[in-house]
Structure 1
Amino acid sequence: MTTTDTTTETITWEQTESGVVVLTFDDPTQSVNTMTAAWSASLSAALDRLATLGSDLTGVILTSAKKTFFAGGDLGDLLATTPERAGELTVFADSAKAMLRRLETLGVPVVAALGGSALGGGYEIALACHHRIAVDSPALRIGLPEVTLGLLPGGGGVVRTVRLLGLDAALDKVLLPGTAYRVQDALELGLIDRIVPDADSLIVAATEWISANPGATQPWDRGEPIPGGTAYTPEIEAVLPLRSAVLRTRHKGAPMPAPANILAAAVESTQVDFDTASAVETRYFVELATGPISKNIIQSTFFDKQSIKSGASRPEGFPVHRANFAAVLGAGMMGAGVALSCALVGMRVALKDIDTAAAERGKDYARKVLGKQVEAGKRTREDADAILDLITPTASVADLAGADLVIEAVFEDPDLKRTVFAEVLDVVAPDAVLASNTSTLPITDLARDLPRAEDFIGLHFFSPVDRMELIEIIVGDKTSDATLAKAFDIALQMRKTPIVVGDGRGFFTSRVILQRLVEAAAMIGEGVDPQSIEQASLQAGYPVGTLALLDELTLSLPLKIRSQFREVAQQQGTELADHPGDAVLTAMVEELGRPSRVAGGGFYEYPDGRRGALWPGLGERFPVSGERADLADLRDRLLFAEVLETVRCHEDGILRSTADANVGSLLGIGFPTWTGGTSQFVAGYPGGTRAFVHRAQELADKYGPRFTPPASLLEG
């Protein structure tokens, strides 16, 4: 029974007869609670009121009326914070941390009752409580993922996790990986203290703990040492240089300052008192929050992705669609992955190939993936078997009867693709979505002779399909809005992130990544040391060296796509300019017989099928010049090649939004995370668009007209 029930702007206040005050976060203006000015004012007022209660106050419980406990800092505010406003952000961060410090030193037990996820700033609030209780929900997550946004936990997360878990565990388990833990894992790690079965049990359990622990305090306020010791402890001090080296190695020289700032803040925090440590943490946080890299990452990975998933590219006026029965045509690597991805979300799947044995081999892929998940304890055997039962290997068109989704995943041969569609049109549902998984062939051409061109669309999956998040949806000239809406919903149903692009050879992702591939080949022809090319790739932030990527994709693929572009240009009465990389790739494939990793050799050697050293014969065919390569130029050539082609995709109407460009480039072609994506690279370029154009022109003057800034940039 409560004795009072009042509300400030974002916090509801209730006090029970036992003297426990329940503060419920409930911002009426947002679907989630964030650290806004209104929240700050509300918490300050609540703390002032708590301080007046004296002996009438026996404890405090923090909980939430939202689905999540607390979402943390307002990313919109952070995005708008410039270096000139660093002082304002410092004041706000210090003020918020001062309130949390008041909370944990009230002199009564404080409990966080987590009915929903507590990530980032939300978990930092929970850390300021003496006890943390969470509901046993598979959807609930606990952690400090700020590093994934180019930030560090600036609300006390660094200081408190180090003092709670010790320096090593805090860094390796929480701060540097940014892991969002499931409830049981969070309990085992010590991030929470108790799990209850349901939300109704939270307040009861919290009240019981308060009653049993009237003198609760934080371990750092009881004078307890940091677990494992401080930076001065010989065992820890000895490995600190190694930690710095590991970070440098992990990021290969790419500009990712957040991990370095986290390490510095954590180490320094062990050498000073709590309040000084908090000030150190704020300094490192503000440096990141006002810098360009966190803004790039926040824009793309949060706001752009949110825009996409909310349906910004989906036509309005159509009901939400769900597919129930998918016919997957082709049981090779891509088809097998598509079939598994459909089954994972509960779709029934007919996996068709030229014969049943080939279709069964496609299902074997699902058996292998699910078997590994069972062995790792991520899935039960019963669950895996239920998913496998949804996939029916077949060679018979009759088994596709009634399918409401068709996904073709055969070889990149237009005639073959048209043939397999023609075979099934009379069998599948009359309103089925007809999708091709082509990566380069125009959708309009593939639909040319089909009677249902309005139902035809491109769904370009990325390999491995069951792990890659992106789907590139390609809209043909006759694709209806209804089909696009269905395809968009199907992508979300498959737990993928869909970008919507226009039709044209290579679409967006294949067209853009092609420029990076042939640029690296051109460098070989110029006499650049191949090791420098790979080093420049990694320093730019790409996940693998560009020559290694070429080997994986096959060196003949760029040549094939370039040939297709050349044919299109001729049909349009123009010519495709030669690229200096074409000659190198042609020589590697036709003269030297080293087309790919699968074939046993490319730019690298592959003993036992595994990538080894760069092939020594490269130096004989393409001698390295005596000039030392300018790594800055090499990095920029790779980055600018993709970014400039993105601008051309906007001009050509292939891209419909910068959000699609950013998210598509990050998730689909491995464009460096720190940039925020190929469009954000221009928007966030130091000095703005004018500086980007100037640098592009420098590259054009030195390396060729392919780097000439497109007209839209010059007009801007």
Structure 2
Amino acid sequence: MSDYTYGNDYHYDRDADGIVTVTLDMAGQSANTMNTRYIPMMNEILGRLQSEEGLAGVVIASAKKTFFAGGDLNGLRAIERADEDSFARFEANKAPFRVMEKMQVPFVAAINGAALGGGYEICLACNHRVVVDDPAAVVGLPEVTLGILPGAGGVVRLTALLGLEKALPYLLEGKPSKPQAALKEGMVDEIVASRDDLIPAAKAWIKANPEAWQQPWDQKGFRYPGGDALSPRVRQTIMAAPAMLYKKTRGLMPAPAKILDIAVNSMRMGFEAALRMESRGICALAVTPEAKAAINTFFFGNQAIKSGKIRPEGPAWTVERAAVLGAGMMGGGIAWAQALAGLPTVLKDTDLAKAEKGKAYSQALADKRVARGRMSEATRDALLARITPSTEDADFAGVDLIIEAVFEDIDLKEKVIGASFGQLSENGIYASNTSTLPISVLAEFCPDPTRFIGLHFFSPVDKMKVVEIILGKKTSEETLRKAYDYVRQIGYMPIVVNDSRGFFTSRVFSTYLDEGMALMRDGMSPVAIERAAWLAGMPVGPLAVHDETSLVLSQKIRKTHEALDKRLGVEKGMPIDMEASNAVVDAMLDQGRGGRHYGGGFYDYAPDGSKSLWSGLSQFATGNGGVSVGEAKERLLYRQAIETLRCLNEGVLNTEVEANLGGIFAIGFPPHTGGAIQFIRGIGIDAFAARAAELAERYGDRFAIPEGALDRLRSPEAKAA
């Protein structure tokens, strides 16, 4: 034993029956993790256990709220090379588990809370897994969502425990399992009613099974559940899996393919060799741009927002009652989100039938959940009871929050805001769901602009769990804090931006649509444009998504901004180049092509639900083509990344975290990049600047990077974020 003891990180207790309970309780941390103290701690624990005479068994427990939180992601993202040193590190990380499996006494995991990633890998190395019956006590291997793989034996052991067919969904999707589902699947072996029952149940199992120390995969004649690699059913899975995986990932995410390869080949070699192959796999993945992007954005970025790092300081605020004005698809969606979160909502429109129709949107969503077993009828009925359709302002007098969600028409918004602001409670706030109109201008229509803010939801609201919070020039810090708390109260992700024409998301999204039009104008085949977008990782091609949002709406928004320009006395208030879109949209509408809702746009729609690109699109090709799919991918992504960079440079965006997460969750920027700013970092700041300059020279100033905009990304503060 070393001079320094890691005893402060765990509790060690031997009972009269010779069973030792090791309770992990890493000092100075809210959760147990595989940090730099983890391996010495485990070696110390195992050394003590090996020296115990008459040891009957071991229970691994936790004194934290969770069982074990997993690996050290700070250390992981610092790895720069897949070399012998990093390989040795991963081998050392998993070595204690093999020692546990060979000690010839049974080990039991007493799972009191979430056991994810490395935490569940500890459980897999135990002979028996007991979990408390609590929805928070989830188990699973989410590493794939961070661009890596379970490198402490997770791939190899879960495949051996469940068999390939059952293990692959958990390995390739990374979804956690609650106790009952985990028991059904075989991921845990026993459920107890309370945390107090965990250790007694674990000890009882050890007493009843004193010889059950050898893992199934170490026993002579072991066969994989569901069949080995040569069985017909498993061979069928192995043959079909790569194609299914490519359909989901488009070849843009290396982690799922690597996990599949290791899981399959682990069945064809010895257990020790399979563990080494797994270490080589995570070693290779840890240095990929995709892993760096995922860890920075989806873990540390999400953590920054969830922890309140970006939230203004001040007391917590809760909305007790709210009103939504405008019961269209957006207003109905906001009412659903609020009612689902337990917030009573008045849904107002000019006609009661319209308000009832808005509530019917929630009815349809709730009925679908009931039909799928995801919601009880009683829960549905309670949810719907929280939505009150109305035509009268008096019905929402004294509410804490009013959200105006009427059509994007400045004159209409002026009328609605002015008429309804007085219904707020003394400390309430008023929000507009505008997607592009300046909050500072809309705030002029209410008596107290300090209590006015933008809350831009995205359609469909029930699926797009992000809200763009827009600060007007006179919006108070208190109003921002309250809006931030409200967004988190309903379970959505808040992205805070400063006032600007088009804000952040609408500006960047518009550039995506416009570049699709520009590619078509340059003579690229519409089929190739849509294919390039798909290969780049965008969820929907620019032509298809324009049909869904409607060309009619695009033109109306443009005309609204032209009217606003006249009101404000400016020549062109929207700061983005939409030349290609404007020309194509106007010509399409002149020919009766308004989008899907209007019977057809860029696509023709058949009665059976199928669609095909409209043959008349060739009229817009004024160039001679010659744009490769590779360059089209670059243009679609660079255009959005440069506009995001402009927003950051202009102060519309405050942080890289919000730029990255907002771009992915609100706009659909390819997740494998980690977001638009992380995309720039992944390419390399200088390399990105050089390629953008080439595109600007060939295609115009829309690809020009503002002077000094990249300096912020080079700063030591930004690199450390």
TM-score, scaled relative to structure 2: 0.94
CA contact (8 A) 1:514 1:558 kept: no
Q: Which residue of 246, 258, 261 maps to 2:258?
A: 261
Question: Mapping of 1:388-399 within 5 angstroms?
Answer: 388-399=384-395
Alpha-carbon offset, residue 554 of structure 1? 1.4
CA contact (8 A) 2:403 2:430 kept: yes
Percent identity reads: 45
Is 1:65 aligned to residue 63 of structure 2?
Answer: yes
Question: Mapping of 1:310-325 within 5 angstroms?
Answer: 310-316=307-313, 318-325=314-321
Q: Which stretch shows the higher mean deviation, 193-202 or 569-578?
A: 569-578
Task: Name the residue aligned to 1:129.
Answer: 126
2: CA distance, partners of 1:577 / 1:278: 52
After superposition, give the CA deviation of every residue in 1:207-249 in whole Å (9 maximum; x if it has no partner). Answer: 0000001111211111321123333334433443322122222
Alpha-carbon offset, residue 9 of structure 1? 4.0
After superposition, give the CA deviation of every residue in 1:87-116 in whole Å (9 maximum; x if it has no partner). Answer: 333212111211101112210110000000
Task: Name the residue aligned to 2:185.
Answer: 189
Query: Equivalent residue of 1:598, what SS?
Result: helix
2: CA distance, partners of 1:611 / 1:514: 26
Q: How many residues align?
A: 703
Question: Mapping of 1:164-179 within 5 angstroms?
Answer: 164-171=161-168, 173-179=169-175
Query: Equivalent residue of 1:226, what SS?
Result: coil
2: CA distance, partners of 1:156 / 1:714: 41
Task: Name the residue aligned to 1:42.
Answer: 41
Q: Which residue of 83, 96, 100 maps to 1:99?
A: 96
Task: Name the residue aligned to 1:3.
Answer: none
Q: Which stretch shows the higher mean deviation, 386-395 or 590-599?
A: 590-599
2: CA distance, partners of 1:714 / 1:60: 55
2: CA distance, partners of 1:188 / 1:82: 40
Q: Which residue of 671, 674, 677 maps to 1:673?
A: 671
Q: Gapped runs of 5+ residues in structure 2?
A: 715-721
Q: Which residue of 404, 408, 411 maps to 1:412?
A: 408
CA contact (8 A) 2:6 2:44 kept: no
TM-score, scaled relative to structure 1: 0.95
CA contact (8 A) 1:532 1:629 kept: no
Q: RMSD across aligned C-alpha pairs, in angstroms?
A: 2.0
Q: Which residue of 686, 691, 694 maps to 1:695?
A: 691
Task: Name the residue aligned to 2:717.
Answer: none
1: CA distance, partners of 2:453 / 2:156: 52
CA contact (8 A) 1:525 1:584 kept: no
1: CA distance, partners of 2:333 / 2:91: 49
Query: Equivalent residue of 1:181, what SS?
Result: coil
CA contact (8 A) 1:61 1:206 kept: yes
Distance 1:577 1:649, change over 3 A: closer
Q: Which residue of 132, 152, 156 maps to 1:155?
A: 152
1: CA distance, partners of 2:253 / 2:12: 42
Q: Which stretch shows the higher mean deviation, 676-685 or 200-209?
A: 676-685
After superposition, give the CA deviation of every residue in 1:348-398 in whole Å (9 maximum; x if it has no partner). Answer: 111111122211111111111111112222121111111111111111111
Alpha-carbon offset, residue 590 of structure 1? 2.9
CA contact (8 A) 2:399 2:425 kept: yes
After superposition, give the CA deviation of every residue in 1:570-627 in whole Å (9 maximum; x if it has no partner). Answer: 94567978655235523543332212111111111112383511112223x2359775
Alpha-carbon offset, residue 505 of structure 1? 0.9
Question: Mapping of 1:523-534 within 5 angstroms?
Answer: 523-534=519-530
After superposition, give the CA deviation of every residue in 1:187-219 in whole Å (9 maximum; x if it has no partner). Answer: 111100111001000001000000001111211
Distance 1:202 1:677, change over 3 A: same
Residue type matched to 2:400 in 1?
Answer: D
Task: Name the residue aligned to 2:115.
Answer: 118
Query: Equivalent residue of 1:500, what SS?
Result: strand
Residue type matched to 1:639 in 2?
Answer: L
Residue type matched to 1:12 in 2?
Answer: H
2: CA distance, partners of 1:568 / 1:502: 19
Query: Equivalent residue of 2:201, what SS?
Result: helix
2: CA distance, partners of 1:652 / 1:351: 36
Residue type matched to 2:535 in 1?
Answer: Q
Query: Equivalent residue of 2:363, what SS?
Result: helix
Q: Which stretch shows the higher mean deviation, 583-592 or 377-386?
A: 583-592
Residue type matched to 1:144 in 2?
Answer: L
Query: Equivalent residue of 1:432, what SS?
Result: strand
Task: Name the residue aligned to 2:290.
Answer: 293
Question: Mapping of 1:473-484 within 5 angstroms?
Answer: 473-484=469-480
Task: Name the residue aligned to 2:87.
Answer: 90
Distance 1:461 1:627, change over 3 A: closer
Query: Equivalent residue of 2:173, what SS?
Result: coil
Distance 1:327 1:360, change over 3 A: same
1: CA distance, partners of 2:561 / 2:486: 31
Task: Name the residue aligned to 2:358.
Answer: 362
Distance 1:211 1:624, change over 3 A: farther
Alpha-carbon offset, residue 499 of structure 1? 0.8
CA contact (8 A) 1:556 1:589 kept: no
Distance 1:108 1:359, change over 3 A: same
Q: Gapped runs of 5+ residues in structure 1?
A: 1-5
2: CA distance, partners of 1:704 / 1:548: 25
Alpha-carbon offset, residue 122 of structure 1? 0.7
Task: Name the residue aligned to 2:658.
Answer: 660
Query: Equivalent residue of 1:303, what SS?
Result: helix
Is 1:610 aligned to residue 605 of structure 2?
Answer: no
Task: Name the residue aligned to 2:268.
Answer: 271
CA contact (8 A) 2:513 2:581 kept: no
Q: Which stretch shows the higher mean deviation, 239-248 or 541-550?
A: 239-248
Q: Which stretch shows the higher mean deviation, 629-638 or 570-579?
A: 570-579
Q: Which stretch shows the higher mean deviation, 470-479 or 382-391?
A: 382-391
Distance 1:588 1:20, change over 3 A: farther
Query: Equivalent residue of 1:113, what SS?
Result: strand
After superposition, give the CA deviation of every residue in 1:142-178 in whole Å (9 maximum; x if it has no partner). Answer: 111111111111111110011111111111x311121
2: CA distance, partners of 1:578 / 1:507: 15
Alpha-carbon offset, residue 262 of structure 1? 0.7
CA contact (8 A) 2:471 2:480 kept: yes
2: CA distance, partners of 1:609 / 1:485: 48
Is 1:350 aligned to residue 346 of structure 2?
Answer: yes
